[in-house]
Structure 1
Amino acid sequence: MGERWNGDGTHLHGRIPGHGHDHHHTPDRPEIPGHDPRDHHHPPGGTAPGTETPTADRRTEHRHAPHAEPHAAPHHRHRHNGRGLRHRLAHLLRPHSHDAADRVDAAMESSAEGLRTLWVSLLVLGATAAAQAVIAALSGSVALLGDTVHNVADALTAVPLGVAFLLGRRAANRSYTYGYGRAEDLAGVAVVLAVAASSLVAGWTAVQRLLDPEPVGHLWAVAAAALAGCAGNEWVARYRIATGRRIGSAALVADGLHARTDGLTSLAVLLGAGGSALGWRYADPVVGLLITVAILGVLRGTVREVGRRLMDAVDPALLDAAERELAAVDGVRGVGAVRMRWIGHALRAEADVVVDRTLTVVAGHQVAEAAERALIRAVPRLLAATVHIDHAPAETV
């Protein structure tokens, strides 16, 4: 079977017998806060999905109940909002637009919360780094200087991420048909470069001080600055990680883990100050080198994660969950290829399913909708799914 669809997800009627059915749908997503679902098109009420499919030929015995929703009204497009009184009020007060450029999905709306988190963390880390820089200049502590440089680099990663979140809120167009979510991946490259630069500066300074050691003054001030750096980074880490998990931003979660590592390096500065207080003249530059190694460890993990995003890698467990849910949909006889990719902090999926060759157009459409809803339920942060339906081949005697 084959169906044609407009760019905004509405169905173009007129079928070509014998071809597959591509159906695109972005139903309500209660898992993503603030989600503004996409318009979608429903056929009139008809045969429940799978009612014409011989159960003996199904690939999977266990099936969920049909998920088709009856509609008494003729063809129409409408918008769904999340559950609860607040969502219903927002639905009533928000202007209803059917222009694709005016639609804002959950990934775009969650970017506002991501931006707020970035700017707050930028202020906190900026204030912490400024205090550390003053004490590092007065005390001559290379370890504290390296920690300060790293904290500054960590604070500045908010800038490319903020730009990426702003771009991600722009609507898709004919040039960028999937939107601007990939800007978040480019921001990840900028984060990698910032971490690499901070490791070079910290390492170079530590080597110079190791070759020409100098006494460290104001040890109590250095210790206090190290504790302040640890506290500031840990607070920012928790804030970023919590927000990143809530809105589904892997980049923000990774940046939070980066801040947590910075907090641990601040504790290393405290150890360097203790070694200097005990009279070991090389304590400060040695700790500075240890901080450089820690930064390189963070860099390695960041490069791996950013590289996976750029190569469209996903957790195989997500595919397993999607395939199980698709196989359990009433009317699905088999599951073909399932593909997923991250675009910004939201997932998109494509799936091929096989249905009985005697299924009608309406029944096949309903099976596709049920399959899409199953995918949305099974996969966290899945924003949209495209299901392609193939008829089972004729059985040969």
Structure 2
Amino acid sequence: MRPHSHEAADKVDAAMESSAEGMRALWVSLAGLGATTVIQALVVAFSGSVALLGDTLHNAADALTAVPLGVAFWLGRRSPTRRYTYGYGRAEDLAGVVIVTTIAASSVAAAYAAVQRLAHPQDVSNLWAVAAAALAGFAGNELVARYRIRVGRKIGSAALIADGLHARTDGFTSLAVLAGAAGAALGWRQADPIVGLLITIAILSVLRQAAREVYRRLMDAVDPALIDHAETTLRATPGVLGLGQVRMRWIGHHLRAECDVIVDAGATAVQAHTIAVDAEHALIHAIPRLRAATVHADPDPRGGTDHHAPLTAHR
């Protein structure tokens, strides 16, 4: 049964509004982190701190994640076509791949700089400026993190929420630069590159989490609790006697579902259709970010008739 459409216009408007909010969050984040990165890069240039360099590279990579996500949000607003019948929401998953690659590249660059400085120690100058830049990095990341998480939760974008949590982690790595500056101030020349290596490890931890989330999205994984909630909702729908398969997938920052419900074998086509529509309607109201559900009504097999016999060989 095709999804009912009495809320179609509202869904399209909501989708466009959520994408617009996501785009706004991305550009604000790009501006904030971009300014932070420029400030830190200037301090790196005249201080020679590789710990701050690692943090700067990480912040630059985090700022640049706005570009692929922005492209994905823009594509997600396009209407489905006969080739892309589900629309372009999965572009957000491809953006996730680009983001993971960018984070990986920043970790390699930060590690290389730290190892080189360990092999060839140098004094770090202008420690007060390094400390100030570290605090600026923390403040910039925390502000961006709060904004991304708030907007991500509002529009249901897992990618934007994950990006916000990533920015929050970056803020704490910025604070680690303070430890390097303190060690250098006490005369420990290796403090700065060692902190740079620790920041690289923190970046790798973020990389692992981001790669796991992107992998799960590419593999159509959803939170099992959503399936449990959907099954409970379907069973509570009047006329539903049982359930078959219940499947969900993310397309961008919206969910789609495919469900099989069992109805009375004596029900007419109109009655079965009504039950399926009621089930879909209940799901859309019960599951956050669910845009549409395809509900298939199966006759109750307890009468001994296999209503799927023609498909047995194909299954």
Q: Give TM-score scaled by structure 1 length.
A: 0.75
* Higher relative contact order, structure no. (Cα contacts within 8 Å, ≥ 6 residues apart): 1
Cα 1:394–1:290 change in 2 (3 A) is: closer
Q: Secondary structure at the match of 1:380?
A: coil
Other-structure match for 1:90: none
Structure-2 separation of matches of 1:112 and 1:378: 24
Q: Deviations over 1:157-182 (max 9, x none)?
A: 10000000000000001010000001
Match in the other structure for 2:198: 290
Task: State the number of aligned residues.
Answer: 304
> Given residue 218 of structure 1, which amino acid in structure 2 is its aligned partner?
N
Compare the two structures and name the one with the higher helix fraction.
2
1:323 counterpart = 2:231: yes
* Amino acid in the other structure paired with 1:389: A
Gap regions ≥5 residues in structure 1: 1-21, 28-36, 39-78, 82-102
User: 1:208: which partner in 2?
Assistant: 116
Pick from 334, 337, 340 the counterpart of residue 242 of structure 2.
Answer: 334
Larger Rg: 1
| 1:259-270 equivalent positions in 2, closer than 5 A | 259-270=167-178
TM-score by length of 2: 0.94
The verdict on how the C-alpha distance between 1:314 and 1:26 changes in structure 2, with shifts beyond 3 A counting, is farther
What does the per-residue CA deviation read over 1:86-139, in whole Å, with 9 as the maximum and x for residues that have no partner?
Answer: xxxxxxxxxxxxxxxxx8353333111100110011011111110100011111
- Alignment equivalent of 1:371, drawn from 275, 279, 290: 279
* Whole-angstrom CA distance in 2 between matches of 1:274 and 1:150: 21
SS in 1 for 2:295: strand
Structure 2 partner of 1:167? 75
Residue 161 of structure 2 is aligned to residue 253 of structure 1: yes
Q: Which amino acid aligns with 1:215?
A: D
Report the equivalent of 1:74: none
Is it true that 1:151 corresponds to 2:130 in the alignment?
A: no
C-alpha distance in structure 2 between counterparts of 1:337 and 1:123, whole Å:
46
Query: What RMSD, in angstroms, separates the aligned Cα atoms of the two structures?
Result: 1.2
Residue 313 of structure 2 corresponds to which residue in structure 1? Answer: none
Aligned structure 1 segments of 4 or more residues deviating by more than 4 angstroms: none
Per-residue CA distance 1:246-284 (angstroms, 9 max, x = gap): 101111111111111110110000110011111111000
CA distance in 1, matches of 2:3, 2:61: 42
State the match for 1:121 in structure 2.
29
How far off is 1:26 after superposition? Answer: 5.0
Cα distance in 2, alignment partners of residues 343 and 250 from structure 1: 11
Q: 1:372 to 1:138 in 2, by over 3 A?
A: same
Identity %: 69
Q: Does the CA-based 8 Å contact 1:108-1:170 persist in structure 2?
A: no
Q: Is the 8 A contact 1:109 1:169 kept in 2?
A: no
Task: Give structure 2 stretches of 5+ with no counterpart.
Answer: 305-315
Contact 1:357 1:393 in 2 (8 A): yes
Q: Is the 8 A contact 1:329 1:374 kept in 2?
A: yes
**Structure 2 counterpart SS, 1:332:** coil
Tell me which of 91, 112, 121 is aligned to 2:20: 112
Q: Aligned ranges for residues 332-371 of structure 1 at < 5 Å?
A: 332-371=240-279
Deviations 1:38-82 (A, max 9, x none): 1xxxxxxxxxxxxxxxxxxxxxxxxxxxxxxxxxxxxxxxx5x5x
In 2: Cα distance, 1:394 partner to 1:145 partner: 69
- Residue 25 (1) aligns with residue 4 (2): yes
